[in-house]
């Protein structure tokens, strides 16, 4: 039985989730780090209200803005979303990118050592040799705080080391990056027998071994990515916590006021890898174009659709919500539409349930 080998996803997971190549060794001395309180909301929380995207035909797409990370001990109530799904014809998950290589189960096992090596610095240099003295000192302090005495990570490429640091720091302050929203939405759709779709740019790597080998040997301009990620860990964890709390309690204005820190430097670092760019092109542009095409489809065919979309795409002046307005759709934030308007009110035969309030 064959399975898909997600090349880019696997490389990211190696940096942020998998253990080090070498055994962890203790012995680093403690250093001065800022004590960051980790008070985040817990228990059952309502989450934010829904955006409304509508057409003159009366068809509506309700959009739930998502953020990551979210409180680790929070249980999302999802009552409003559940009411929409009950009367919807389709649930559209957040857009994504799937880069795979059909190599079979044993082929995937054979590639695993190559993937493990891909996160290492190709010339064997350690982080202390790659980074400036000041940047390495900053890294060492944050590493002691959130990772501990792992010496193997010192042999990683900067972008992979930074990704691991980010993941550990997020978990340390009581947050998590996955498993809060999408599983609940999928379960609700399954309970109501509603179709689930996901706009997914699917690109197949025909020669995965060659791609990984090229990546392993490639020079990557990832020092800006590394530095910005350290900035986020030093300065943005408080914002992440506030953002997570605001999402949990449904504070839209609070979410608007908290700055988002995009990972553009890291995206540019990935884009600089010739071994990947030659094969896949501009993935973000492809993803956005596919999502907009899917929105056209669901608004033409469905009376009611629920869609998930990263919150920054709803807030940014050049985000996907702005693209929808440019295409002639009406986009309204929570509180800007009348939930009891004729367009939203269910009729005896359509089963459409609008969000409450």
DSSP letter string, 62-111 = EEEEE-SSEETTEEE--HHHHHHHHT-SEEEPPPEEEEEEE-HHHHHHHH
Q: Which range has highest mean pLDDT (19-23, 30-34, 91-95, 224-228)?
A: 91-95
Ranges 108-117, 195-204, 329-338, most confident: 329-338
Establish if 305 belongs to a structural domain: yes
Residue 70 lies in a domain: yes
Q: For residues 294 and 18, which has the higher predicted lDDT (pLDDT)?
A: 294
Enumerate the β-bridge partners of residue 97. 201
Whole-Å CA distances, 256 to 38, 124, 207, 346: 22, 44, 44, 31
What's the chain's average pLDDT? 78
- Res 225: pLDDT: 86
Going by C-alpha positions, the residue among 68, 280, 248 that lies closest to residue 166 is 68
Report d(CA 277, CA 288) in Å as an integer. Answer: 17
pTM of structure? 0.77
> Within a 13 Å sphere around the CA of 246, how many CA atoms are in the beta-carbon half?
20
Q: How much is the average pLDDT of 241-258? A: 92
Q: Is residue 29 part of a domain?
A: no
Question: What is the C-alpha separation between 352 and 357, in angstroms, rounded?
Answer: 15
- 263-278, pLDDT tens digit by residue? 666 766 666 565 555 5
Q: Considering its fold, how many domains does the chain have in total?
A: 1
At 286, is the pLDDT very low, low, confident or very high (cuts 50, 70, 90)? confident
Strand partners, 45: 76
Q: Look at residue 88 and tell me if it is in a domain.
A: yes
Q: Kindly report which listed range (84-88, 146-150, 338-342) carries the lowest average pLDDT score.
A: 338-342
Tokens of 94: 């957040």
Nearest CA-CA partner of 36 in 135, 172, 141: 172
Whether 212 maps to a domain, the answer reads: yes
* 337 part of a folded domain: no
- Contacts made by residues 33-40, CB under 8 angstroms, sequence distance 24+: 33/141, 33/142, 33/144, 33/145, 34/234, 36/173, 36/237, 36/238, 38/172, 38/173, 38/174, 38/241, 39/174, 39/241, 40/71, 40/72, 40/73, 40/74, 40/173, 40/174, 40/175, 40/241, 40/244, 40/245
Asked whether residue 166 is domain-assigned, the answer is yes
Identify whether 302 is part of a domain. yes
Q: Tell me the residue range of the domain where 111 lies.
A: 4-21+43-332
Residue 334 has pLDDT above 90, yes or no: yes
Nearest to 264 by CA among 225, 310, 206: 225
pLDDT value at 348 more than 60: no
């Amino acid at each position: 039985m064959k399975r898909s080998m997600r090349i880019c996803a696997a490389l990211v997971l190696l940096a942020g989730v998998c253990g080090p190549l070498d055994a962890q060794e203790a012995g680093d001395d403690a250093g001065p780090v800022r004590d960051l309180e980790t008070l985040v909301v817990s228990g059952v929380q309502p989450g934010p209200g829904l955006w409304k995207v509508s057409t003159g035909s009366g068809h509506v797409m309700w959009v739930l803005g998502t953020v990551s990370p979210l409180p680790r001990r929070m249980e999302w109530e999802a009552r409003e979303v559940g009411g929409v799904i009950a009367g919807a014809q389709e649930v559209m998950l957040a857009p994504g990118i799937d880069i795979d290589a059909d190599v079979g189960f044993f082929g995937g096992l054979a590639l695993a050592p190559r993937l493990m090596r891909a996160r290492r610095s190709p010339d064997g240099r350690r982080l202390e040799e790659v980074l400036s003295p000041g940047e390495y000192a900053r890294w060492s302090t944050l590493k002691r705080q959130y990772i501990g005495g792992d010496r193997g990570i010192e042999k990683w490429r900067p972008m992979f080391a930074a990704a691991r640091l980010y993941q550990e720091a997020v978990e340390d302050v009581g947050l998590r990056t996955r498993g809060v929203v999408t599983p609940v939405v999928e379960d609700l759709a399954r309970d109501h027998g509603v179709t689930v779709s996901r706009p997914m740019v699917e690109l197949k790597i025909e020669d995965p071994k060659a791609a990984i080998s090229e990546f392993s040997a490639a020079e990557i301009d990832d020092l800006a990515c590394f530095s910005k990620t350290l900035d986020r860990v030093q300065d943005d964890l408080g914002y992440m916590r506030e953002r997570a709390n605001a999402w949990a309690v449904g504070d839209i204005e609070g979410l608007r006021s908290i700055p988002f820190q995009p990972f553009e430097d890291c995206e540019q670092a990935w884009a600089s890898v010739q071994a990947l760019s030659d094969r896949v092109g501009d993935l973000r542009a492809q993803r956005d174009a596919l999502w907009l095409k899917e929105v056209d489809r669901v608004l033409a065919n469905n009376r009611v659709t629920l869609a998930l979309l990263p919150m920054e795409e709803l807030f940014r002046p050049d985000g996907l919500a702005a693209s929808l307005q440019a295409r002639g759709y009406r986009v309204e934030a929570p509180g800007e539409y009348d939930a009891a308007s004729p367009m939203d009110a269910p009729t005896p035969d359509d089963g459409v349930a609008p969000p409450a309030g």
